[in-house]
Amino acid sequence: MRILMIGAPGAGKGTQAARLAANFSLTHVSSGDILRGHVREQSAVGRKVDGYLNSGTLVPDEILLDLLRDPLLEAGRAAGYVLDGFPRNLKQARAAHEMAEPLGVDVQAAVYLDVEREELVKRMLARAEREHRSDDRVEVIEQRLALFDEHTRPLIDYYAALKRVVTVDGARDEDDVTRSLVLELEKLTLD
């Protein structure tokens, strides 16, 4: 199974992606985790992307595509993947398609975790207390939500046109969201 998560920051993408990966034995590929790993290690890529992560702006597409190509194709050839945080805009979605389609490892379903804005802000502020992420600050949160609306939300229509969107109410308890997701994904007939 090859799926991707679409959700505003704070919608629970990371949590649900990890649970779906465990449930369906898939590889969880998180662009944010990969980028934060590079920043922690202070690699060449890490030094390049640090500023973008801190300010909550999007890292240039070319960097993401270079970082994600191998994990995506590798996982696609194995049992499948759950993409979390990538693609983040239409350009990345098209590039991912061009990369994966010829190898038969294109995305089969895009999960949209629908959560209203007030709840998203509440969750990110709570996460700031727990994890001290540099981008969970009020000004940066606003910026990330605006970027989601402008660049990432159009992906819902993009995948809907391909009849590949599964929308789930993400505002409920984590376990309820996981149960709905598993049920919905099991209903799909995937090749």
> Residues 148, 121: contact at Cβ < 8 Å?
no
Per CB under 6 A, the list member of 71, 80, 85, 170 interacting with ligand AMP is 85
State which of positions 25-64 bind ligand AMP (CB under 6 A).
31-32, 35, 52-53, 56-59, 64
Is residue 134 within a helix (H) or strand (E), and if so which, with residue range? none
Distance (Å, rounded) from C-alpha 120 to C-alpha 67?
28
Size of interface with ligand AMP, in residues (CB under 6 A):
17
* Smallest distance, ligand AMP to C-beta of residue 62, A: 10
Nearer to ligand AMP, 85 or 170 (CB): 85
Q: Please tell me the distance from the alpha carbon of residue 37 to that of residue 43, in angstroms, as a whole number.
A: 9
Residue 9 as a binder of ligand AMP (CB under 6 A): the answer is yes
Regarding 92 and contact with ligand AMP (CB under 6 A), the answer is yes
- The DSSP secondary-structure symbol of 88 reads -
* Residues 6+ away with beta carbon under 8 Å from 174: 12, 15, 16
State the residues that interact with ligand AMP by CB under 6 A: 9, 31-32, 35, 52-53, 56-59, 64, 85-86, 88, 92, 135, 144
